[in-house]
Structure 1
Amino acid sequence: MELIKIDYLQIGVAASKLLTVSNLSINSGQKIGLIGNNGAGKTTLMRILAQEKLTDSFTVKGRVSSNCNFAYVSQLLDAGDKSGGQREKLALNKAVTQLKNMPNGLLLLDEPTSNLDITQQQWLIKLINKSKIACLIISHDQNFLNKVCDSIWYIQNKEVHNFSGTYEEFRSFNEDQRKRAETTYEQKKKHLEQLKRSYNLHFNKARTFSHNKKGLSSSDWRSKSMGKQKTANNVIRASKNLASRINKEKAEIKKPQMHHAITLKNGNNAITDLSISPKSKALRLEKQQVNAYGQELFSITQEANLTYSSKVVLTGQNGVGKTVFLKKIKNRQLTGFYNSKLKIGYFNQNIVTSQTDKTLLDSLFATSIFDDSSTMQVLGDLHLRQYGRHKISDLSGGQLVCFNLAKILTGQYNLLLLDEPTNFLDIASVNALAEFVTAYPFAMILVSHDQAFIKQLEAVKWQIKDRCLITSASQKKRSRKSNDNELELLKFKLDQLMLDSQTSISEIKRVKKQIQNLQ
C-alpha cells in the first residue's frame, strides 16, 4: 500500500532552489535510507513529510499525499538528565510503541544512531528489522544503512533519486558510475586531441593555398592555382567545421570530480619540528584507576603505550568513561610519561570557538602544518571551502563544529584526541576523514561508534569493558594467562591419565598433542 506519494515537490530557501522531488513514494513495509551531503535538504524534506511547519524563508510547491500514521524522531532531542544515547533510545522505543497497533505505520528517523554506542546500534538494527513498520531514515552510518535499508533515496544535483537495493549495492552502482564517467571523460579528451591535430593539419594546409609561390607573379600563381581552388575551399571549409566541433565538444566535456588523499608538503618546517624519534614513546600510561565525579570509572591494569605514529580507536558503551579518558590525557592528569615534544590537539563537539572577526581561511592558514592545497582539501572534504572568506563569528552551529574539526586536524599538534569526529559529517566527509587519519604522520586516539569508519582505518583497537581498559598488550597478557591456566590443567589431566591403567594410548596422545599446541 502506498503510504506517501510525492508529486513534483519543489523546495526553495532564501529565494534559491534547495531540492526537487519529481515522483517518489513510500510503500508499506519499505525501509528507505535518505542520504546526501550536509545542507542538501534531507531534514527539510523529512519535516515536510512529518507535516511540520517551516520558517518563512522556505517555499514549498507541489503535492504530498499521505495515507499513514507516522511518528517522527528528530535529530535534536530535548536535553535532560539522561545521556544522548539514553534519550535517543527512549524516543525510538516510544515511536515504535506508538505505531505498533496502528495501521499503515511510518517511522521517520533523523540520524537515529548519532548518539548510540555499538550495543545500542545493534539493538536498533534488530528492532527495525523485526518490525513491519515502514521507515524513512536519514543516516550517515554506512554499516547501519546496509543492515536495515532495502531502498536508498540519494540527493544529487539538488534532486532526489531512488535506488532499489541495499546500501552496499548502491555503493557498487555509484562506483561503477564513477568509473564509467572517468572512462568517458578520458575517451572524450582523447577524441578532442585528435580533432585538434586534424584541425592543425587542415589549417596549415589552407594557409599554403593563400600564400604566393616563390618566384611567381601573383597573376601567374593565380592562373596556375585555378585548378586547385576547389580543393582549397574544401580544406578551408573542413578547417572551419573542425573548429566548430572542437568548440562544441570543449563546452560539453566535463571532468568528473576526483578525490585525492591528503599529501604532506616535503620539508614543511612545522611537520619537522613536531616529529618525535621513532625509538621514543609519545605517551606511556602507568597502571592506575581512572576516576571522575567522585567515583571510579575503570582501571588501567596494564601499562598503555602510544608510539609517535600510532593510530588508536577507543570503543566502549556510552558512560564507561571514554570522553573522561581523553580529557585527562589532554590535561596530562593521568600518571605516566608524556614526551617533552608532545603537543596535544583535542576535538570535542561541545567546544565553542571564540567568536572572532578572523576569516575561516586566515585562521586555518595561520596554524596549519599542511601546505595550502592540502589545507583547502580538508575544507572541501568538510564542505567549508565556499565559506573560506566568511568570518568565524558568522558560521552556523554545524559549520562551527566542522571548522573546529578542521582546525584540530590541520593544527600544529603531534597527538590528536578526537571524540566522535564523525557525528556531524556526511558519508563523503566520513570517508575522506578515514583517508586523512590513515595518512596522518603523528599519533592519534579517536573515539567512534561508526563501524564502517573504524573498518577503514589501519588502527590499533583499545576498549573499555568490564571497568578495565583493554589494550592490545593487555589483551595478549590476558590470552597468555588463559593459556597458562589451560596448560596447567592439561598437564594435571595427563598425569592422572598416566596413572590410570584403563586409559587408552590414543587418549594420552590426544592430551599430549593439546599440550604441545599450547606450548
Structure 2
Amino acid sequence: MLSINNLSYFIGGRALYENASLHIKPKDKIGLVGLNGTGKSTLLKIINGDYQPTSGEVQKAKDCTIGFLNQDMLSYQSEDPILEVALEAFKETLALQAEIDRVLKQMETDYSDAVIDKLAKLQDRFEANEGYTVKAKAEEILEGIGFNTADLMRPLKTFSGGWRMRVMLAKLLLEKPSLLMLDEPTNHLDLPSIQWVENYLKNYDGAVVVVSHDQEFLDNCIDTTVEVSHGTLTTYSGNYSFYKEEKKERMEIQQNAYENQQQMIKQTEKFIERFRAKATKSNQVQSRVKALERLDRVNEVVDDNISVNFKFKFSQKSGRDVVTLDHVSKSYGDLKILANTSARIERGDKIALIGANGKGKSTLLRIIGGGEKIDGKVSHGHNVIKSFYAQHQLEALNVDNEILQEMVQAGSGKTETELRGVLGCFLFSNEDVFKKIKVLSGGEKSRVALAKTLISEANFLLLDEPTNHLDMQSVNILIQAMEQYEGTFITVSHDRHFIKGVANKIWYLENHQIKEYLGTYDEYIYWKSQIKEEESPTNFTQKEKKEQKKKRTNTELDEAKRELKKKGQFLADVEDRILKLEERKSTLEKEMSDADVYSDADKLEKINQKYQVIKADLLKLNQSWESLVEEISTLEETIS
C-alpha cells in the first residue's frame, strides 16, 4: 500500500534518516518507537508530504488515502458545534443531503418525472453512503472519546486545546482513511477514552501507524513495532512487549558478535605489528591489512534502558496518618465534585487516582494539598512534609536559569555533585546541566520539574499527570524512582504502565464519593471485570428473549444485516487469499525439496525468505478469518 525506499533526510549536517526503508501493508497496525529526537514525528510528516526527503522516495498506491493526527491541530478553531465539525468527515454525504433538500423544495412546485427521477437517484446514492447513520456514528465516536451528549452542540472554540484535539481525532476516525497516522493520540485522553480508542483501532479496517509513549496502549492496539534508531527503521513483528524481548535477544547476539570481532581484530593487529618489518611475511601482512580495511564492522551495543539509583533523604518521617479527609464536599456552582465523602492516606501508601476526565481527580489532589476551599475537614498528620507536582510547575521554572542553577535554587541543600547525580538519572549529563531552561523541550522541562520535586526531601508527594510529555525511557526512570521512594504519594495518571509499576492502592471517584481498592492496578482491573460479569445478564428466558427482540428497532436490524453482508464479502475475500497463499506455500515447499535447490545455499535462502513471508501472512489471514467468523456468528444471533 505504501513503501518508503532508501529514505535519507538531513537537518543541517545531521542525518535524521539515512537509506531507511519501510513497507506498510493494508491492515498493518504499526507502533513507531524510539528515543525523543530520533525523528518519529518527522517520518510521519514525510509520509504525509509535509516534508520532502533529501533522497529516496515514498511511494503509495493510487487508492491510498492518508489521515494524519498531529499536535499542530491543537490550534484549530471553529464557531461550529463539535458535532458539525466531526461530520465534515462526510463531505460527499452532506453534499448529497443538501442536494436532496434542494430537490424536495423544488418538488413543492414541480412534480415532473425528471425531478422525481433525480430525487430517487440522489436518495439511492445517499443510502449507499449510509447517510442515514452518519450522525449516529459521529455521536458514538465523540461520546466514546469522552464528550457528553450535551457537549455535542457546543462550539469547538469553547473547548480547551486537548478537547479540540479529541474532535480532530473523531473526525479522522469517521473519515476512515486507508492509512491512519496518529502522533501521541493519548496525550489528551483520559483512561476510559484511551481504552475506547484501543478497541476502535484493533478493529480498524485500514492500516494504522501510531507514535506513542504509552506502552500499554501500544501493546493493546498494534501488531508490528518499528524502531527508529541511528537513522534506520528496524521492524519487529509483534507488539511493544514482544519488541522489548526480541530486541534484548538481538542485542545479546550483536554484542557477542561485536566482542568476537574485536578479539579477531586485536589478534590481526598484533600479527601486523609483529611482522610488519619482516620481508618474508610482507604478503601475509598486506593481506591482513586489506582484510581489516574490507571488514564490515559490527557496532557495539548501546543499551537505551537505564537503571538508576535514587538516594532519597528525609529530614523526618511522617506519622502513621498522612492525610485524613472527613465528610468533605466540593462544588463549582451547580457542578458537584464531592459530596460528604471521607478517606485516609497512611504512611507508605502509593495511591493511583484514576478515572475519566471531569470527575474531579485534579480537584481532589488540590484539596489534599490544601489548595481548595471545601466543606468538611482535611487534616495533615504529624511531621508531614508535602511536595506538589503539576503541569503548571513547568511554567514556574525560571527560563533564564541553567538547569543546574534551577536545581540549586530549589533549596534542597544538596551539593553540586549530588545534584549532578540526580540530573544524570533524569538524562541530563555532562554539559547538558548548563542548558538554559528556555531552550528545553516540553519533555525536558517536565524532567527538570520532576527532579526538583524529588529532591525536596518531602515525605509526601502529590503528582498530577507526571508522565505527560515524557518519552518511554523517562517514564521508566520515573517508575524506578517511585519504586525506591520510601515515603507516601498519590498520583493522578492515565498511563497504565506507570500505574502498574508504582501503585499499591487504587482510588477512583464514583457518585461523588472517594472509592478505594486495596491492591495493584492489575488486581483492580480483574476485580472490576468480575463485578461487570456478575451484573451482566447472560441467561434470558424465552419470554425475556422475545421482549428483548421487540425492543430492537428496524434501523438496528437493517444496520446489522448490512454489516453481516459486508463481513460475508470480506470473509470470502480472506478465504480466497488464504487459498492462493496455501497454493504458493505448497509450490515453495516443493521447490525447497528439489535437490538442485537445497544443494545451492543462496538459492535455498532466497526461497526460504519468500516461504517465511508467506507463512507470516497466512498466520495473520487465519487470525482474521477466525475473528470474522466470530463476528458473523454474533451478527447472525443479533438478527435472529
TM-score (norm 1): 0.70
Q: Which residue of 1 is the match for residue 39 of structure 2?
A: 41
Contact 2:25 2:207 in 1 (8 A): yes
Contact 2:463 2:492 in 1 (8 A): yes
Q: Which residue of 1 is the match for residue 13 of structure 2?
A: 15
Choose 1 or 2 for highest CA Rg: 1
SS at match of 1:113: helix
Contact 1:6 1:21 in 2 (8 A): no
Q: Which residue of 1 is the match for residue 158 of structure 2?
A: 81
User: Pairwise mapping of residues 165-244 of structure 1 onto structure 2 (< 5 A)?
Assistant: 165-180=238-253
SS at match of 1:287: strand
Change (3 A) 1:262 1:339: farther
Is 1:421 the counterpart of 2:466? The answer is yes
User: Pairwise mapping of residues 14-413 of structure 1 onto structure 2 (< 5 A)?
Assistant: 14-20=12-18, 22-52=20-50, 54=51, 60-66=54-60, 67=62, 68-76=64-72, 77-78=74-75, 80-82=157-159, 86-99=163-176, 105-180=178-253, 254=300, 256-257=302-303, 259=305, 261-265=307-311, 271-273=313-315, 275-277=316-318, 279-292=319-332, 295-299=335-339, 301-307=341-347, 309-333=348-372, 335-348=378-391, 351-367=394-410, 371-372=418-419, 374-380=421-427, 387-413=432-458
Q: For 1:252 and 1:27, locate their aligned partners in 2 and report how far apart those are by CA, in whole Å.
A: 31
Change (3 A) 1:473 1:174: closer
Query: Deviation string for 1:305-337 (max 9, x for gaps)?
Result: 231x32111101011111112223333546223
Q: Indicate the RMSD between aligned Cα atoms, in angstroms.
A: 4.2
2:235 is matched by which residue type in structure 1? Answer: N
Q: For 1:133 and 1:276, locate their aligned partners in 2 and report how far apart those are by CA, in whole Å.
A: 55
Contact 1:292 1:324 in 2 (8 A): no
Is 1:454 the counterpart of 2:527? The answer is no
Change (3 A) 1:185 1:322: farther
Contact 2:337 2:360 in 1 (8 A): yes
Q: For 1:114 and 1:384, locate their aligned partners in 2 and report how far apart those are by CA, in whole Å.
A: 27
Q: How far 1:155 moved relative to its partner?
A: 0.8
Contact 1:32 1:151 in 2 (8 A): yes
Q: For 1:253 and 1:15, locate their aligned partners in 2 and report how far apart those are by CA, in whole Å.
A: 22
Q: How far 1:172 moved relative to its partner?
A: 1.3
2:379 is matched by which residue type in structure 1? Answer: G
Query: Deviation string for 1:194-213 (max 9, x for gaps)?
Result: 98xxx9xxxxxx9xxxxxxx
Contact 1:283 1:336 in 2 (8 A): yes
Contact 1:355 1:392 in 2 (8 A): yes
Q: For 1:259 and 1:26, locate their aligned partners in 2 and report how far apart those are by CA, in whole Å.
A: 28
Contact 2:310 2:481 in 1 (8 A): no
Q: Which residue of 2 is the match for residue 511 of structure 1?
A: none
Q: For 2:19 and 2:468, locate their aligned partners in 1 and report how far apart those are by CA, in whole Å.
A: 27
Change (3 A) 1:372 1:254: farther
Is 1:6 the counterpart of 2:47? The answer is no
Contact 1:152 1:164 in 2 (8 A): yes
1:348 is matched by which residue type in structure 2? Answer: Q
SS at match of 1:335: strand
Which fold has the larger relative contact order, with Cα–Cα distance below 8 Å and residues 6 or more apart in sequence? Answer: 1
| Structure number having the greater strand percentage | 1
2:5 is matched by which residue type in structure 1? Answer: D
141-150 or 89-98: bigger deviation: 89-98
Q: How far 1:360 moved relative to its partner?
A: 0.7
| Structure number having the greater helix percentage | 2
Q: For 1:141 and 1:455, locate their aligned partners in 2 and report how far apart those are by CA, in whole Å.
A: 12
2:58 is matched by which residue type in structure 1? Answer: V
Q: Which residue of 2 is the match for residue 482 of structure 1?
A: none
Query: Deviation string for 1:277-322 (max 9, x for gaps)?
Result: 4x53232222211334663212463332231x32111101011111
Q: How far 1:95 moved relative to its partner?
A: 0.9
Query: Deviation string for 1:239-297 (max 9, x for gaps)?
Result: x9xxx9xx99xx989474375543344xxxx8241x314x5323222221133466321
Contact 2:314 2:458 in 1 (8 A): no
Q: For 1:28 and 1:400, locate their aligned partners in 2 and report how far apart those are by CA, in whole Å.
A: 39
Contact 1:7 1:22 in 2 (8 A): yes
Q: For 2:314 and 2:299, locate their aligned partners in 1 and report how far apart those are by CA, in whole Å.
A: 42
Contact 2:67 2:172 in 1 (8 A): yes
18-27 or 446-455: bigger deviation: 18-27
Contact 1:302 1:474 in 2 (8 A): no
SS at match of 2:216: helix
Q: For 2:259 and 2:53, locate their aligned partners in 1 and report how far apart those are by CA, in whole Å.
A: 41
Q: Which residue of 1 is the match for residue 592 of structure 2?
A: none
Q: For 1:284 and 1:385, locate their aligned partners in 2 and report how far apart those are by CA, in whole Å.
A: 44
Q: How far 1:120 moved relative to its partner?
A: 0.9
2:71 is matched by which residue type in structure 1? Answer: Q
2:39 is matched by which residue type in structure 1? Answer: G
Q: For 2:446 and 2:195, locate their aligned partners in 1 and report how far apart those are by CA, in whole Å.
A: 27
Query: Deviation string for 1:452-485 (max 9, x for gaps)?
Result: 222222431111223221124799xxx9xxxxxx
1:282 is matched by which residue type in structure 2? Answer: V
Structure 2 unaligned residues grouped into runs of 5+: 78-156, 521-526, 528-640
Q: For 2:209 and 2:518, locate their aligned partners in 1 and report how far apart those are by CA, in whole Å.
A: 43
The number of residues matched between the two structures is 423
Change (3 A) 1:349 1:43: farther
Q: For 1:153 and 1:280, locate their aligned partners in 2 and report how far apart those are by CA, in whole Å.
A: 48
Sequence identity, in percent? Answer: 26
Q: For 2:447 and 2:185, locate their aligned partners in 1 and report how far apart those are by CA, in whole Å.
A: 20
2:499 is matched by which residue type in structure 1? Answer: I
SS at match of 1:28: coil
Change (3 A) 1:166 1:395: closer
Q: How far 1:18 moved relative to its partner?
A: 1.8
Contact 2:443 2:469 in 1 (8 A): yes
Query: Deviation string for 1:2-24 (max 9, x for gaps)?
Result: 2x221222122233222235221
Change (3 A) 1:386 1:170: farther
